[in-house]
Copies of this chain bind each other. A is one copy, B any other.
């Protein structure tokens, strides 16, 4: 499954000359734009190509099929966010709960808000069959990093870290989504950051039990 998936979605040709590099980037950007403007239902390869200023044939030289196009967009975005979260978790090892939460929330929200248009556009394709796989894969990566981090928190122990992390992760991702979908004004984003820290920290404080070192 894994190999087949890679074969089905891997690019046909890697850009060599500069112009094709430009072309691929134009296609990627056009994918997002079309997704935002017309929605997933009405995203067609022809329309994406048109928007990118190239012909359909060109699109098919770099992506073996339509799903690969969407898959690639989602993959790029998700791994960027996943990396940011993992990095934040690594940096907060052995810190007290509060900075841990703050670091992770900050990293996640920042990563999502860097390109709000991309984040928004991709929600709709994340529910596609192949998208789900990616979301789950990267989600697991993030949750594992979170769990590992939490276990190093001094003075606290969690009964079931996996579950606790799942709850926290669900809250963080969906609250961020809600803010994105309601416009993501700077004020909203500021509130989101603050309230997410409150929520997660409050939860962890209730959920964890004191531990004697």
Copies in the complex: 2
**A108 smallest CB distance to B (angstroms):** 14
Chain A count of residues within 8 A CB distance of the other chain: 33
Contacts of A179 in B (CB 8 A): 166
- Chain B residue nearest to A41 (CB atoms) is B129
Interface membership of A201, Cβ < 8 A: yes
In the complex, per-residue mask of A172-195: 1 if CB is within 8 Å of any chain B CB, else 0: 011101110000000000010001
Which of A8-16, A21-29, A44-52, A120-128 lies at the interface? Answer: A120-128
**Roughly how many angstroms separate A201 CA and B170 CA in the complex, as a whole number?**
16
- Chain B residue nearest to A182 (CB atoms) is B166
Which among A129, A170, A202 has the greatest number of chain B C-beta atoms within 10 A?
A170
Which A residues between 61 and 105 are near B, CB-CB below 8 angstroms?
A: none
**A161 smallest CB distance to B (angstroms):** 12
Residues of chain A at the chain B interface (Cβ within 8 Å): 39-41, 123-124, 127-129, 160, 163-164, 166-167, 169-171, 173-175, 177-179, 191, 195-196, 198-199, 201-203, 205-207
